[in-house]
């Protein structure tokens, strides 16, 4: 299934049904009076977050959603039928923006969360509603109230505990594949990963966390170079970022600074998230090279540098345990 994380759609709730003018006319019943019923309510438009979806691809082919109009009233004080509501299922983590793409209308960040976006119009009043002591035979009935309509943007931000960032070919997809059951495409050329990937890391029967791999960033990503920074939104909700640095590149410190620069250019809040710095591909380095580059990264970042080999899995158990502890602490703070 193709991954799509943005979509523009049109939604319109149903109009209310019309009220009617009617009078009771039965044999042997004198002065029957008005008995026109009210119109029914138009259908609402709801959005619901469901776990079975992970892309917005369905909205590429269906872009217009309309609820039905409420039923008209009838004689004998019969109210028109209310129209069925339209419930639109979206992946967990979907945000709904107004047409300006800036005004956030709703954030469906929890399973089975439901929001009412467009309310159906109320039904019009029938003439029975206007009967009074001074107006015994009203001939007034109202049209149903119109529903709401709008163009909106849907934007998906994946729900993950840990996000992977780094330059292309830093080993992010390899780490995802060895730490979880996810099977991303892995190759020795840049931008093998073209869209975000999710994997569930299970340390034991009770401890697990979700890790997200996004396409690699390069210099100028905030200005649209390469694949740009459009996928960075998928790690905005993460509690921790793993910054993978290719240990086989002599310019590892400059590479780390480059990614930090692009993160800050995208969002200061994202750049301020806790970062776990990992020197990857240590299996291809001599011990003295590892110590030299680890010391250089530690001096530049002021943070602890973890050593890892995604291929041989050296350092992987220790890294996953460290990440699980950070995620658990973050969850405890949230609750």
Q: What string of pLDDT tens digits covers the 335 residues of the chain?
A: 467 889 999 999 999 999 999 998 888 777 788 999 999 999 999 999 998 888 898 998 899 999 999 999 999 999 999 999 999 999 999 999 999 999 999 999 899 999 999 999 999 999 999 999 899 889 999 999 999 999 999 999 888 889 889 888 888 888 888 888 777 777 665 666 667 888 888 888 888 888 988 887 777 766 767 666 777 888 888 889 999 999 888 888 999 999 899 889 888 888 888 999 999 999 888 899 999 999 999 999 998 999 998 888 899 999 999 999 999 888 887 65
Q: What is the DSSP letter of 224?
A: T
Q: Is 216 annotated as a binding residue?
A: yes
Q: Is 283 annotated as a binding residue?
A: yes
Q: Is 194 annotated as a binding residue?
A: yes
pLDDT the model gives residue 190: 62
Q: Is 47 annotated as a binding residue?
A: no
pLDDT the model gives residue 116: 97
Q: Is 215 annotated as a binding residue?
A: yes
Q: Are 165 and 243 in contact (CB under 8 A)?
A: yes
Q: Is 204 annotated as a binding residue?
A: no
pLDDT the model gives residue 7: 94
Q: Is 281 annotated as a binding residue?
A: yes
pLDDT the model gives residue 148: 96
Q: Is 301 annotated as a binding residue?
A: no
**Among the CATH numbers 3.90.470.20, 3.30.300.130, 3.30.9.10, 3.40.50.300, which is that of 162-334?**
3.40.50.300
Q: Are 270 and 236 in contact (CB under 8 A)?
A: yes
Q: Are 208 and 202 in contact (CB under 8 A)?
A: yes
Q: Is 192 annotated as a binding residue?
A: yes
User: Where exactly are the structural domains of the chain?
Assistant: 6-156, 162-334
Cα 118 from Cα 96, distance rounded (Å): 12
Q: Is 58 annotated as a binding residue?
A: no
Q: Is 295 annotated as a binding residue?
A: no
pLDDT the model gives residue 1: 47
Computed over its alpha carbons, how large is the radius of gyration of the chain? Answer: 29
DSSP for 134-178, please give it. S-SS----PPPPP--EEEEEEEE----SEEEE-STTSSHHHHHHH
Q: Is 173 annotated as a binding residue?
A: yes
- Kindly report the CATH number that applies to the domain delimited by 6-156: 2.70.210.12
Cα 269 from Cα 12, distance rounded (Å): 35
Q: Is 193 annotated as a binding residue?
A: yes
Cα 113 from Cα 106, distance rounded (Å): 10
pLDDT the model gives residue 130: 93
Q: Is 280 annotated as a binding residue?
A: yes
Q: Is 213 annotated as a binding residue?
A: yes
Q: Is 62 annotated as a binding residue?
A: no
pLDDT, one tens digit per residue, over 276-320 is 999 999 988 889 999 999 999 999 999 899 999 888 889 999 999
């Amino acid at each position: 299934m193709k991954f799509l994380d943005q979509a523009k759609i049109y939604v319109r709730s149903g109009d209310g049904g019309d009220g009617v003018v009617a009078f009771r006319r039965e044999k042997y019943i004198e002065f029957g009076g008005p008995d026109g019923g009210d119109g029914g309510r138009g259908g609402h438009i709801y959005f619901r977050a469901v776990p079975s979806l992970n892309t917005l691809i369905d909205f590429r082919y269906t872009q217009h959603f309309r609820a039905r109009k409420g039923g008209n009233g009838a004689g004998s004080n019969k109210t028109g039928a209310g129209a069925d509501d339209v419930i639109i299922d979206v992946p967990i983590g979907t945000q709904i923006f107004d047409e300006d793409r800036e005004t956030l209308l709703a954030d469906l960040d929890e399973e089975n969360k439901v929001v009412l976006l467009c309310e159906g119009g109320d039904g019009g009043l029938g003439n029975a509603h206007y009967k009074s002591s001074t107006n015994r035979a009203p001939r007034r009935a109202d049209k149903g109230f119109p529903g709401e309509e709008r163009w909106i943007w849907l934007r998906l931000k994946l729900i993950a505990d840990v996000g992977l960032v780094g330059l292309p070919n830093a080993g992010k997809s390899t780490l995802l594949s060895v730490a979880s059951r996810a099977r991303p495409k892995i190759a020795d050329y840049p931008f093998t990963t073209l869209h975000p990937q999710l994997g569930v890391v299970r340390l034991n029967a009770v401890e697990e966390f979700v890790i997200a791999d996004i396409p690699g960033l390069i210099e100028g990503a905030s200005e649209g170079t390469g694949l740009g920074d459009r996928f960075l939104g998928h790690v905005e909700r993460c509690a921790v970022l793993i910054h993978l640095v290719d240990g086989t590149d002599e310019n590892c410190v400059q590479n780390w600074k480059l990614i930090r620069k692009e993160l800050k250019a995208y969002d200061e809040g994202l750049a301020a998230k806790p970062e776990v710095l990992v020197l990857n591909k240590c299996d291809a380095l001599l011990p003295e090279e590892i110590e030299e580059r680890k010391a250089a990264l530690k001096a530049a970042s002021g943070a602890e540098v973890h050593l890892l080999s995604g291929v041989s899995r050296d350092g992987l158990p220790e890294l996953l345990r460290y990440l699980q502890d950070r995620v658990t602490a973050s969850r405890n703070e949230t609750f």
